[in-house]
């Protein structure tokens, strides 16, 4: 095991990193990190230097003895780490922008993690994450991998199926949901408990308690016809009151894409005309952020970072590391192997559920809710899409990819699936070597 408490952040040059640093500073007493390695690749070198310098200033201001190392040498960084986090974007924002535009061209949702956009991102990302995992297996087999890289649920599933790494998939939505409910009910977030069931970006808050008293139906009543529980990257279109009551639980913000498909696509097409895709918007926010980060007098996380959908993700990350480190046995909502918990899904898939966190990692809690058919049906079909996507990404399996896209409720057509898949392969050649087996330059799609 490690001698010093070492944490590695792969994708350390991300504009989100100051948020993570703020989390480490806040929880230093409980989680006295000694070595922090921020790792990036050559194209991200400049960003790494800028973000790394800000991280050092933040830590200096807090007067904490954390050694910050900036490096392009991933293997050196991983050696003897206790925790490795990944927050990478293969192909960077340009690739995200293409992922969002391809489905839109066919009148379908163009989104970073959901639908065909998420499929493309998974194909590019999974091979790189598996490579990182092979380094972890060799150089730091006891390390926990906390994966934030999107699509987080699918990536986590690929890691649990194809490596021995102890991995936990993380998202900011569970914490964000608790925060929104706390705001709605006008109580401190520490008083709110929720049960969340589902898979990443497709889950339902099945129960809500405030100081132990169940208030699920009150929250549903407030949400009926209302706006409010969403993240910065998803339009806040209000829920239909009768519909939300019929769901009987609180859908996560991404479920708007399924339950209000037409309205959401219409909104996306309108936004596209005026401001481009979300990636184009994010590019502007990033430019603004990096300008601020370069200021040698800045030594705290700028408020502008809250314009990003992933705001507060460090809460999830640092809370999780702290609980593992201190064997806390508290409850957190993370992505883990199903192992029979959600009985309508296979054992070896990833699910996002309440877990008890101790020094061994997460152990899922038995569900307090039986899933009704409308939840079960959607969950099963999107999970089947995810399983097929993992196979396509790992093996360069065209047939699995075509089936994945075809059955996805936001594609739902073999003809469109084929066109979209062909476009994805065309536009991502340098990032999808697993499909280069065939002499045909589209990996076998005509
Ligand atoms: C949400 C999701 C994250 C995602 C983020 C995108 O919060 O939970 O998984 O990364 O939004 O935000 P962005 O600002 O990049 O559009």
Residue 391 C-alpha to ligand 1 middle, in angstroms?
A: 25
Residue 169 C-alpha to ligand 1 middle, in angstroms?
A: 14
Write the pLDDT tens digit of every residue in 134-173: 999 999 999 999 999 999 999 999 999 999 999 999 999 9
Residues 141 and 40 reside in one and the same domain: yes
Residue 91: domain span: 6-169+281-311
Look at ligand 1, atom 6, and give the residue with the nearest C-alpha: 309
CA 226 vs CA 196, 203, 229, 362, 398: distances in Å: 20, 19, 9, 34, 42
Q: Judge whether 1 lies within some domain.
A: no
Q: Judge whether 261 lies within some domain.
A: no
169: which 2 tokens?
């998939």
Residue 444 C-alpha to ligand 1 middle, in angstroms?
A: 33
Residue 311 C-alpha to ligand 1 middle, in angstroms?
A: 8
Mutational test site, ligand 1, from 231, 236, 279, max ligand atoms within 8 Å of CB = 231
Residues 29 and 155 reside in one and the same domain: yes
Handedness of CA 370, 376, 382, 385 (dihedral sign): positive
183: which 2 tokens?
């705001």
Mutational test site, ligand 1, from 15, 86, 87, 112, max ligand atoms within 8 Å of CB = 112
Look at ligand 1, atom 3, and give the residue with the nearest C-alpha: 310
Output the 3-class SS for 17-78.
HHHHHHHHHHCCCCCCCCEEEEECCHHHHHHHHHHHHHHHHHHHHHCCCCEEEEECCHHHHH
Q: Judge whether 128 lies within some domain.
A: yes
Mutational test site, ligand 1, from 15, 281, 308, 334, max ligand atoms within 8 Å of CB = 308
Is there a contact between 382 and 409 (Cβ–Cβ < 8 Å)? yes
Residue 48 C-alpha to ligand 1 middle, in angstroms?
A: 20
Ligand 1, atom nearest to 172 Cα: 8
How does DSSP assign 80-130, residue by residue? T-SEEEE---TTHHHHHHHHHHHHHHTTS---SSSTHHHHHHHHHHHHHHH
Ligand 1, atom nearest to 279 Cα: 16
Q: Judge whether 336 lies within some domain.
A: no
* Residues in the ligand 1 pocket, defined by CB under 6 Å: 150, 171-173, 231-233, 278, 282, 308-310
Q: Percent of the chain at pLDDT above 90?
A: 88
Residue 62 C-alpha to ligand 1 middle, in angstroms?
A: 28
Look at ligand 1, atom 11, and give the residue with the nearest C-alpha: 309
Q: Percent of the chain at pLDDT above 70?
A: 96
Which residue, among 61, 62, 59, has the nearest Cα to 70 in the 3D structure? Answer: 59
DSSP 8-state symbol, 251:
E
Write the pLDDT tens digit of every residue in 54-112: 999 999 999 999 999 999 999 999 999 999 999 999 999 999 999 999 999 999 999 99
Note the pLDDT of residue 442. 58
Is there a contact between 155 and 129 (Cβ–Cβ < 8 Å)? yes
How does DSSP assign 229-249, residue by residue? ---TTS--PPPPHHHHHHH-S
Cα–Cα distance for residue pair 318/154, rounded to 1 Å: 22
| Number of domains the chain contains | 2
Residue 171 C-alpha to ligand 1 middle, in angstroms?
A: 9
Last residue in a domain, options 311, 331, 360 = 311
Ligand 1, atom nearest to 150 Cα: 9
Look at ligand 1, atom 10, and give the residue with the nearest C-alpha: 310
323: Cβ–Cβ under 8 A, 6 or more apart, which residues? Answer: 329, 330, 332, 357, 358
pTM assigned to the model: 0.96
Q: Judge whether 83 lies within some domain.
A: yes
Residues 21 and 163 reside in one and the same domain: yes
Q: Judge whether 388 lies within some domain.
A: yes
Note the pLDDT of residue 67. 98
Query: Of the ranges 215-219, 360-364, 387-391, which one carries the lowest mean pLDDT score?
Result: 215-219
Residues 45 and 153 reside in one and the same domain: yes
Write the pLDDT tens digit of every residue in 113-138: 999 999 999 999 999 999 999 999 99
Ligand 1, atom nearest to 173 Cα: 8
Ligand 1, atom nearest to 231 Cα: 7
Residue with tokens 């002499």: 439
- Binned at pLDDT 50, 70 and 90, residue 1 comes out as very low
Residues 288 and 431 reside in one and the same domain: no
Q: Judge whether 318 lies within some domain.
A: no
What count of residues does the chain have? 446
Q: Judge whether 304 lies within some domain.
A: yes
Catalytic option among 16, 37, 254, 293:
254
254 is catalytic: yes
| CATH code of the domain containing 74 | 3.40.50.720
Encode 386-421: b = buried (16+ Cβ within 10 Å), e = exposed.
bbbbbbbbbebbbebbbbbbbbbebbeeeebbbbbb
Residue 445 C-alpha to ligand 1 middle, in angstroms?
A: 31
Write the pLDDT tens digit of every residue in 337-371: 999 999 999 999 999 999 999 999 999 999 999 99
Gyration radius from the chain CA atoms: 21
Note the pLDDT of residue 439. 43
Ligand 1, atom nearest to 308 Cα: 14
Residues 299 and 429 reside in one and the same domain: no
Last residue in a domain, options 311, 333, 361 = 311
């Amino acid at each position: 095991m490690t001698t010093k408490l070492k944490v590695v952040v792969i994708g350390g040059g991300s504009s989100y990193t100051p948020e993570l640093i703020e989390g480490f500073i806040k929880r230093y007493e409980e989680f006295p990190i000694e070595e922090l390695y921020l790792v990036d690749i050559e194209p991200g070198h400049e960003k790494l230097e800028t973000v790394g310098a800000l991280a050092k200033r933040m830590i200096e201001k807090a007067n904490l003895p954390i050694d910050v190392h900036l490096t392009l040498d991933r293997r050196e960084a991983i050696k003897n780490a206790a925790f490795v986090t990944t927050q990478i974007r293969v192909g960077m924002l340009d690739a995200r922008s293409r992922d969002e535009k391809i489905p839109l061209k066919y009148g379908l949702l163009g989104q970073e993690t959901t639908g065909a956009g998420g499929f493309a991102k998974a194909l590019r990302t999974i091979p790189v994450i598996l490579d990182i995992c092979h380094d972890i297996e060799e150089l730091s087999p006891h390390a926990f991998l906390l994966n934030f890289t999107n699509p987080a649920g699918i990536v986590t599933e690929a890691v649990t199926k194809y490596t021995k790494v102890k991995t936990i998939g993380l998202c900011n939505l569970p914490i964000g949901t608790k925060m929104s409910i706390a705001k709605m009910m006008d109580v401190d977030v520490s008083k709110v408990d929720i049960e969340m069931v589902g898979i990443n970006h497709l889950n339902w808050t099945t129960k809500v308690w405030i100081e132990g008293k169940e208030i699920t139906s009150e929250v549903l009543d407030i949400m009926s016809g209302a706006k409010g529980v969403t993240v910065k990257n998803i339009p806040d279109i209000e829920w239909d009151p009768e519909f939300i009551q019929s769901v009987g639980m609180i859908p996560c913000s991404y479920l708007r894409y399924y339950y209000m498909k037409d309205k959401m696509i219409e909104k996306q097409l309108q936004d596209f005309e005026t401001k481009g895709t979300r990636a184009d918007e994010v590019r502007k926010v990033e430019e603004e952020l990096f300008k601020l980060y370069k200021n040698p007098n800045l030594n705290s996380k700028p408020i502008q970072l809250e314009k990003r959908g992933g705001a507060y993700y460090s809460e999830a990350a640092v809370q999780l590391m702290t609980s593992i480190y201190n064997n806390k046995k508290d409850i957190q909502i993370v992505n883990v192997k199903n192992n029979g918990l959600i009985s309508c899904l296979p054992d070896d898939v990833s699910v996002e559920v309440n877990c008890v966190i101790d020094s061994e990692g997460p152990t899922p809690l038995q569900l307090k809710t039986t899933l009704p058919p409308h939840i079960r049906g959607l969950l099963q079909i999107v999970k089947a899409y995810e399983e097929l996507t993992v196979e396509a990404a790992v093996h360069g399996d065209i047939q699995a990819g075509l089936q994945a896209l075809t059955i996805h409720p936001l594609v739902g057509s073999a003809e469109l699936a084929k066109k979209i898949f062909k476009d994805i392969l065309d536009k991502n050649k340098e990032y999808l070597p697993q499909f280069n087996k065939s002499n045909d330059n589209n990996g076998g799609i005509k």
